[in-house]
Structure 1
Amino acid sequence: MTGSLTRLSVALRIALRELRGGLKGFYIFLACIALGTGAIAAVNSVSGAITNAISSEGRTLLAGDMRFELDNRETTAEERAFLERFGDVSVSTNLRSMARLADGSDQSLVEIKAVDQAYPLYGRLTAEPDRPLNELLAPEGDVYGALVAPLLLERMNIKVGDDLLVGNARFRITGTIANEPDAISDGFGFAPRFLTSRDALRASGLIATGSLVEHAYKIRFENPDQSAAAIRTEAERDFPAAGWSIRASDRAAPALAENVERFSQFLTLVGLTALIVGGVGVANAVRAFLDSKRTVIATLKCVGAPASVVVMVYLIQITLVATLGIALGLVLGAIAPMITASYLQGVLPISTEFTLYPRALLLAGIFGLLVTFAFAILPLGHARRVPATALFREQGFEESGLAPWPYIVTMVLALGAMAALAIFTSEQQRIATIFLAAMAAGFVLLRLVAYLIALAAKRSPRINSAALRLAVGNIHRPGALTPAVTLSLGLGLSLLVALALIDGNLRRELTGNLPERAPNFFFVDIQGSEVERFRQVVEGLSPKGKLIEVPMLRGRVLELNGIDVAKVDVPPEGRWVLRGDRGLTYARNLPENSSLAEGEWWPADYAGEPLVSFSEEEGRELGLKIGDTITVNVLGRNITARLANFRKVQWESLSMNFVMIFSPNTFAGAPHAWLATLIDGEATAGDEATILRSVTQQFPTITTVRVKDAIEVVDKLVGQLATAIRAAAAIALIASVLVLSGALAAGNRARTHDAVILKTLGATRAMLIRAFTYEYMLLGTATAVFALASGGGIAWFVLTRIMKLPSAFLPDVAVSTIVIALVVTIGIGLAGTWRILGQKAAPVLREL
């Protein structure tokens, strides 16, 4: 024990004394660790900031202590009395409709929110001008006040003080909305906000039988210590058929919190990719550093230092430098929420105050340490094994063979711990496992690619050009850059190619193929009394178009096989079906855009127990099988239907598709509205404008959605997500560049010797520059080809197997990838070797 402490004390003194000379040789090591650790810490800190804000500011975001939501109906007297037992109640109503100019020259889809006098119970709605809400919404005769999102003014080229028609009522715009406290908890909207009073909404005539309307009842507790869980239990017990969705302030925006968490987990995996790619740089940097300390290590061994002391000296140095890099990364992660808040204020609930998120920082720090030890341990093992005499004679550690088995075991354990940590801290463990397995396979494949490149170069025919012959020889010689270049750039470029192809194909679907297949319009809230006249009007406006009408109801899934859905273990990808209300319909015949996957369709005159058809993919995700029962609540009534069949649904067509289609007898006598689509491939933009204007004027209570407008909104969202993902992927590419720089630094001494000998034998600087350029060009091209193949394969899998979309190879992505690879490899390669070409021969020759 005393001997071990003595050796550790000696190693610590030597390590600290050597570090007095600075961090030369460790800068790339430092950058790799700081970059990867910082990325993971920043992503998780920002995620923590958002989710904490949702929890801590839940009352304001919900505008109440609890929220009870009902679809397509208001509370009964008994239900309202129950809610009022616990405190003040504020009611708001949400729906979509069309706002149009009084002269009928323009119209726009709007998200209407009608509020009562008590709104908001918490927080404050801020408008411009900043006046009391009751004043801004007060009517003047038969003209009602309304606040709108500034986007609506821009879209319709109007200003505050102008009038708009919505439904059968006239509204005057009295101001614009600057801050709506509960906007996030109300959910994402595809159209600008239109805020008015509930009296105005009643006057508009938009609320009719079967209208798609959400009524939210928000409670401010009279007793602050009141338990939301107890109220929920009592509500479900006393009103089992109410069908309301209940949310407390600690879960003000569950969909947002879940999406933020999922997105952050994805970016964490991307950051982990950058850290692991940086791990290769760590290995190169440690190898280069130990190579530069070759004579020091040999001297220590010659004067009697045990191999363990030599290893401890440099392990201490590596640990200290890694700790510094991790600290720098954690500082970046700690300030990331403050930086992000300055850009996301008003969009997401995130505080600008400095707050530490220990879990995020701890996770990043552990990842940083594990990567450091996993990739630094093998070079240390080589240093332990090589005898002093060999170190004095040889260039470095390349020929020292495998490291001792304890070092290999330590590396494997560190990598295993890192993989386990990544998997068990992820909500979607299956995806994390696949991601890490793919990364491991990528490393193996890249080593194989490097071997094949070197083998091809070795067996290539003799070339007349001396520079090109030298370049080909450099690719397969011992200590060549081939493995380092393929490893460093291969992963980074593959990730960029995959993301670029996914983004490009999504945009191609949204702006190219999808609009060609998608309907021109969706028409919502068509009342039964209007269906015939509506059909005549639309067919007259679009005689070549195809009008499809289906009955439309809204309902919420309550039970699966008699078990409350809240108690059913559902994988994350299937939870959306059980969250909130779903569109429902009934049909006698199988819809033309669907096909049976399993089971049988019911007869057209079926009159037995209620049956339901479920979309196959979503049904499998929920664990359903033919014969199971599904209980849904529709208009305050619980209906249990038996699963009769599964359907294959083409969601990407944007046709009228439903997760659940019921047998017609299920909703016999139930009031409902109709949903319709119009498909007219020959309709021009002018024809669509005429249809939109005519339908809106003749049927003011029908909501008309132009599909191209919705696609533009989605395309904008996809672009914003793609920017964030590409920024994260760029971190992996930067790590790749650092690794490549480290690989060049690791081989600089060997290349210096080669250059000096060649110059001594008559080679000119120009010839050597050409040789190095050819070498880097060949390696860059080979790496780019691999990245195109692997990235294309990843993109194809994600698009076709996960997103269920067609995948196409995009030539512009291929060209840009090759250009990036060549610029990076040639640029960094020449920058790293330029200094070598100017070395004087005599000092180098004396060392040989």
Structure 2
Amino acid sequence: MSLRRLPLALRLALREMRGGLRGFYIFLACIALGTGAIAAVNSVSSAVTRAIATQGQALLAADVRFELNNRAATADEKAWLDGLGTVAVSTRLRSMARLPDGSDQTLVELKAVDGLYPLYGALETEPQRPAAELLAEDGSVHGAIVAPLLLDRLGVSVGDEVLIGTARLRIAAMLTREPDAVSEGFGFAPRLLVSEAALAASGLVQTGSLVEHAYKIRLADPDAVLPAIRERANEAFPAAGWSVRTSGNAAPALTSNITRFSQFLTLVGLTALIVGGVGVANAVRAYLDGKRPVIATFKCLGAPAFLVTAIYLAQIVLIAAVGIAIGLVLGALTPMVAMRFLAEFLPVPAEAAIYPSALLLAAVFGILTALAFAVLPLGRAREVPATALFREQGFEPSGLPGWPYLLGAAVFLAALAGLAILTAYDRFIAVTFLAAIAFAFVVLRLVAWGVTALARRSPRVNSPALRLAIGNIHRPGALTSSVVLSLGLGLALLVTLALIDGNLRRELTGNLPERAPNFFFVDVQGADLDGFRDVLKANMPDGKIVEVPMLRGRITAFNGEDVTARNVPPKGQWVLRGDRGITYARRVPENSTLSAGSWWPEDYDGEPLVSFSAEEAGDLGLKLGDTVTVNVLGRNITARIANFRTVEWESLSINFVMVFSPNTFAGAPHAWLATMIDPSATPEQEAATLKAVTNAYPTITSVRVKDALDVVNELVGQLAVAIRAAAAVALVASVLVLAGALAAGNRARVHDAVVLKTLGATRRTLITAFSYEYMMLGLATAVFALFSGGVAAWYVVARIMNLPSAFLPDVAALTVVTALVVTVGIGLAGTWRILGQKAAPVLKEL
């Protein structure tokens, strides 16, 4: 019976909508904004990840790449690789580029290539000439291609000469695009491209040097060979310890980071959508309040409650569809704009494209949000009798709507949460995020209740305007709950992100450089240690030198089980990704303390033992007594976990995930890693030390920590722009919701204003009263935002990032000002028209 009336309900809904969308503009804006944010973030993410997947050969400059650390392939391994296809060899390491007169130097990411590079893609230079020609040797001088940043740092230009190790290089061209740069990861220094002959002449590759040898292969039949290439390689050379990457997974770290960042922005967009859901509820409530005569007419003509509900539900679905369509158009257009900015950093498609899966996900989020927040106001409309609708001033029925509406709202909210969790990269983060949102809604309700209770119990004041404002806060139908709920969540999110960003910048530019070493020195040969110490002491006599042996190894198994077969949480995957720095020690390293187990004796000579970082061991599910197999220099070494250490990573001192017993690597060739710590050193002393070390030992790589932190700070700044933009979307949604909340209360405000003006109140008195009211509500919301945002930021910074967290006064001041300006500004803008309302039409309904 009820279902047969649905066509009638749809027909009546469409007929009533002929008058336009008046009353639903806030509804449209909220849905469009949240849907557009989610569609835009996921469309851009899809564009980048699809580009990485489809351009795998160019990004890898090969069909498959085999990478070895600290050693070149043996003759047998190289012969096996040659049998797969055409092999291009490249070598990467960090080193110091310096001017011939020794007056200046800078860290570089050095890459040596052979004549076949690149097998796929194009190397773009200025001037543009073949790589073999640009890198050719002219007498004793080798050609080089350099990144523009290197020219700026050393103050040189194309045609000038620089030194690398013991090799002299002539800058033949400037590098504009390196095809496989993305697949090789983020570098802290500018690229310097040379030939393999130039690298050999430099003398940089020595015993224990941190060098990555890559063998990039063009296969004759990639489709037939690639699916089983890893298994074939490991079967042929089980102890090789090489890392194998195919064109189908050219940049896994970048893809993972993009996915994580897009998930974060999607959750922020979902916050905007949920905040907008409050606006949907307010808009529906205000719209139905304005439709009281129509609803009353329907009921008086015999329309059942189901038909009335169906009519307005159909309108809500249709209007939500319009808002979703607007959001999807915005989301589809965003990648076309974003590609222009991302093309400089990432491999993105130049042509326009639509990503249906991203748009579909946003559309489903949008419709679920609209329905979840519109059901309860519809249920309340259904329960109000026609007689009350004719004369009641406020659409404020008491109690909850019927159970079908409560069940419907719960189902839609559960579906919304389930979709967010199901599509999340890290479901724990998604669950935590949604729980925080739900908790915030509950707390905001309590804040509104608290503000109302305080206003009700406040002492009587002499000012009529202030007395009226306090009364407006706690009277029936007050805007207190709507305003606090509308603005609170967006402001809290803004405070959280601002505090995280501020603490990161404060740590990177202030506290961290003060605690961190001045320098890291890499590839210090054992024979050079004494002379190296003398150079440091001569230039920084008050400094502390710390030096440890350094090797590189890749974890291949836990308890004999291949690590690729383990289900490792995202938080711990970085430990297994590629090679890790490892060392051995007789005593517990500085900046770490034993948390479980015991340290081995200094003269220990039993089975190999290893000390594992406690936090990372927990992420990997390891326990005392487990075994860890590490491939070092082509040899698999299995050690038993003897203890766990709590490591102070934030100190930036020398520390390792794994520290082995000294007998584990007896006789293994290795170099040394050293730090110099002198908080009192001046920039002039640091510059002189860097120059002295580079000139005396050109094969030692020197990293000035402050320079590295500057690069990280710049990267954090770029990420902060995207995060702030996403937070701004949530804040704009809050502002829209606030406007909707005020619109929903306009009918009661009109009544109050007319009655007060009839009793002698002036417009000035009413404006002052409304200003006081909005200021108090804005201040209460700001206090909540500062508290909740501060707690959330503290948890992220102190517990997740393990960094010192501080509350920043400037963020607090900005939050209070923003809350007051928004609430007072929008509040007065919404009530200005009310103050000019004619009295007669309102008074005749009393």
Could you say whether these structures have the same fold, taking a TM-score greater than 0.5 normalized by the shorter chain as the test?
yes
Give me the whole-angstrom Cα distance separating, in 1, the residues matched to 2:444 and 2:2.
41
Q: Which AA in structure 2 matches 1:86?
A: L
Shift of 1:227: 2.4
Q: Which runs of 5+ in 1 are unaligned?
A: none
Shift of 1:397: 2.4
Query: Given that residues 391 and 845 in structure 2 are in contact (C-alpha distance below 8 angstroms), is that contact kept between their aligned partners in structure 1?
Result: no
Q: Confirm whether residue 562 of structure 1 aligns to residue 566 of structure 2.
A: no
For residue 817 of structure 1, the aligned residue among 815, 818, 832 is: 815
Moved more, 596-605 or 795-804: 795-804
Q: Confirm whether residue 826 of structure 1 aligns to residue 824 of structure 2.
A: yes
Shift of 1:223: 2.2
- Listed as ranges, the matches of 1:194-593 within 5 Å are 194-593=192-591
Tell me which residue corresponds to 1:75: 73
Tell me which residue corresponds to 1:21: 19
Query: Given that residues 467 and 770 in structure 1 are in contact (C-alpha distance below 8 angstroms), is that contact kept between their aligned partners in structure 2?
Result: yes
Q: Could you report, residue by residue, the CA deviation over 1:147-189 in whole angstroms, capped at 9, with x for unpaired residues? A: 1111111122211111111110111111111111100001100
Query: Given that residues 338 and 351 in structure 1 are in contact (C-alpha distance below 8 angstroms), is that contact kept between their aligned partners in structure 2?
Result: no
Give me the whole-angstrom Cα distance separating, in 2, the residues matched to 1:809 and 1:538.
39
Give me the whole-angstrom Cα distance separating, in 2, the residues matched to 1:589 and 1:367.
55
Q: Which AA in structure 2 matches 1:806?
A: P
Moved more, 588-597 or 518-527: 588-597
Shift of 1:346: 2.5
Tell me which residue corresponds to 1:808: 806
For residue 181 of structure 1, the aligned residue among 179, 182, 187 is: 179
Tell me which residue corresponds to 2:138: 140
Tell me which residue corresponds to 1:605: 603
Give me the whole-angstrom Cα distance separating, in 1, the residues matched to 2:123 and 2:243.
24
Give me the whole-angstrom Cα distance separating, in 1, the residues matched to 2:578 and 2:4.
67
For residue 765 of structure 2, the aligned residue among 763, 767, 786 is: 767
For residue 151 of structure 1, the aligned residue among 149, 169, 172 is: 149
Q: Could you report, residue by residue, the CA deviation over 1:425-463 in whole angstroms, capped at 9, with x for unpaired residues? A: 112111111110111111011001100100100110001
Shift of 1:226: 2.6
Give me the whole-angstrom Cα distance separating, in 2, the residues matched to 1:224 and 1:503.
45
- Listed as ranges, the matches of 1:160-175 within 5 Å are 160-175=158-173
Give me the whole-angstrom Cα distance separating, in 1, the residues matched to 2:103 and 2:824.
59
Q: Which AA in structure 2 matches 1:754?
A: D
Tell me which residue corresponds to 1:614: 612
Tell me which residue corresponds to 2:122: 124
Indicate the SS of the match to 2:208.
Answer: coil
- Listed as ranges, the matches of 1:696-735 within 5 Å are 696-735=694-733
Give me the whole-angstrom Cα distance separating, in 1, the residues matched to 2:294 and 2:838.
24
Shift of 1:816: 0.4
Give me the whole-angstrom Cα distance separating, in 1, the residues matched to 2:115 and 2:600.
50
Query: Given that residues 138 and 145 in structure 1 are in contact (C-alpha distance below 8 angstroms), is that contact kept between their aligned partners in structure 2?
Result: yes
Give me the whole-angstrom Cα distance separating, in 2, the residues matched to 1:4 and 1:379.
21
Give me the whole-angstrom Cα distance separating, in 1, the residues matched to 2:309 and 2:52.
49
Indicate the SS of the match to 1:524.
Answer: strand
Query: Given that residues 557 and 631 in structure 1 are in contact (C-alpha distance below 8 angstroms), is that contact kept between their aligned partners in structure 2?
Result: yes
Q: Could you report, residue by residue, the CA deviation over 1:276-309 in whole angstroms, capped at 9, with x for unpaired residues? A: 0000000000000000100000011001111111
Indicate the SS of the match to 2:470.
Answer: helix
Q: Confirm whether residue 796 of structure 1 aligns to residue 801 of structure 2.
A: no
TM-score, length-normalised on structure 1? 0.99
Give me the whole-angstrom Cα distance separating, in 2, the residues matched to 1:248 and 1:224.
10
Give me the whole-angstrom Cα distance separating, in 2, the residues matched to 1:226 and 1:181.
25
Q: Could you report, residue by residue, the CA deviation over 1:245-292 in whole angstroms, capped at 9, with x for unpaired residues? A: 000100000000011001111111111110000000000000000001
Give me the whole-angstrom Cα distance separating, in 2, the residues matched to 1:5 and 1:655.
71
Shift of 1:6: 4.1
Q: Which AA in structure 2 matches 1:487?
A: L
Give me the whole-angstrom Cα distance separating, in 2, the residues matched to 1:623 and 1:609.
23
Shift of 1:586: 0.5
Query: Given that residues 386 and 400 in structure 1 are in contact (C-alpha distance below 8 angstroms), is that contact kept between their aligned partners in structure 2?
Result: no
Indicate the SS of the match to 1:20.
Answer: helix
Q: Give the aligned CA root-mean-square deviation in angstroms.
A: 0.9
Indicate the SS of the match to 2:138.
Answer: coil
Q: Which AA in structure 2 matches 1:320?
A: L
Q: Could you report, residue by residue, the CA deviation over 1:300-356 in whole angstroms, capped at 9, with x for unpaired residues? A: 100111111111110010000000111111111112221110110031111132222
Give me the whole-angstrom Cα distance separating, in 2, the residues matched to 1:613 and 1:836.
72
Shift of 1:683: 0.4
Shift of 1:361: 1.2
TM-score, length-normalised on structure 2? 0.99
Count of residue pairs the alignment pairs up: 846
Give me the whole-angstrom Cα distance separating, in 2, the residues matched to 1:111 and 1:577.
23
Shift of 1:5: 4.7
Give me the whole-angstrom Cα distance separating, in 1, the residues matched to 2:407 and 2:772.
39
Misfit runs of 4+, over 4 Å:
none
Moved more, 149-158 or 413-422: 149-158
Question: Between the two proteins, what is the percent identity of the paired residues?
Answer: 69
Give me the whole-angstrom Cα distance separating, in 2, the residues matched to 1:773 and 1:785.
18
Give me the whole-angstrom Cα distance separating, in 2, the residues matched to 1:712 and 1:79.
41
Query: Given that residues 86 and 223 in structure 1 are in contact (C-alpha distance below 8 angstroms), is that contact kept between their aligned partners in structure 2?
Result: no
Indicate the SS of the match to 2:637.
Answer: strand
Moved more, 331-340 or 138-147: 331-340
Tell me which residue corresponds to 1:637: 635
Query: Given that residues 41 and 363 in structure 1 are in contact (C-alpha distance below 8 angstroms), is that contact kept between their aligned partners in structure 2?
Result: yes
Query: Given that residues 179 and 346 in structure 1 are in contact (C-alpha distance below 8 angstroms), is that contact kept between their aligned partners in structure 2?
Result: no
Q: Which runs of 5+ in 2 are unaligned?
A: none
Q: Could you report, residue by residue, the CA deviation over 1:676-697 in whole angstroms, capped at 9, with x for unpaired residues? A: 0000111000000000011011
Query: Given that residues 59 and 122 in structure 1 are in contact (C-alpha distance below 8 angstroms), is that contact kept between their aligned partners in structure 2?
Result: yes
Indicate the SS of the match to 1:787.
Answer: helix
Tell me which residue corresponds to 1:60: 58
Q: Could you report, residue by residue, the CA deviation over 1:20-47 in whole angstroms, capped at 9, with x for unpaired residues? A: 1100001000000011111111111111
Query: Given that residues 337 and 352 in structure 1 are in contact (C-alpha distance below 8 angstroms), is that contact kept between their aligned partners in structure 2?
Result: no
Q: Which AA in structure 2 matches 1:234?
A: R
Give me the whole-angstrom Cα distance separating, in 2, the residues matched to 1:729 and 1:250.
34
Give me the whole-angstrom Cα distance separating, in 1, the residues matched to 2:223 and 2:257.
30
Indicate the SS of the match to 2:96.
Answer: strand
Query: Given that residues 488 and 784 in structure 2 are in contact (C-alpha distance below 8 angstroms), is that contact kept between their aligned partners in structure 1?
Result: yes
Give me the whole-angstrom Cα distance separating, in 1, the residues matched to 2:269 and 2:497.
14
Query: Given that residues 394 and 747 in structure 2 are in contact (C-alpha distance below 8 angstroms), is that contact kept between their aligned partners in structure 1?
Result: no
Query: Given that residues 37 and 266 in structure 2 are in contact (C-alpha distance below 8 angstroms), is that contact kept between their aligned partners in structure 1?
Result: yes
Q: Which AA in structure 1 matches 2:414?
A: G
Q: Could you report, residue by residue, the CA deviation over 1:195-220 in whole angstroms, capped at 9, with x for unpaired residues? A: 11111011000000000000110110
Query: Given that residues 294 and 396 in structure 1 are in contact (C-alpha distance below 8 angstroms), is that contact kept between their aligned partners in structure 2?
Result: no
Q: Which AA in structure 2 matches 1:728?
A: A
Give me the whole-angstrom Cα distance separating, in 1, the residues matched to 2:34 and 2:590.
51
Q: Which AA in structure 2 matches 1:33?
A: I
Indicate the SS of the match to 1:225.
Answer: helix
Give me the whole-angstrom Cα distance separating, in 1, the residues matched to 2:27 and 2:564.
48
Indicate the SS of the match to 1:589.
Answer: coil
Query: Given that residues 384 and 397 in structure 2 are in contact (C-alpha distance below 8 angstroms), is that contact kept between their aligned partners in structure 1?
Result: no
Q: Confirm whether residue 97 of structure 1 aligns to residue 95 of structure 2.
A: yes
Give me the whole-angstrom Cα distance separating, in 2, the residues matched to 1:307 and 1:685.
79
Tell me which residue corresponds to 2:756: 758
Query: Given that residues 26 and 289 in structure 1 are in contact (C-alpha distance below 8 angstroms), is that contact kept between their aligned partners in structure 2?
Result: yes
Tell me which residue corresponds to 2:837: 839
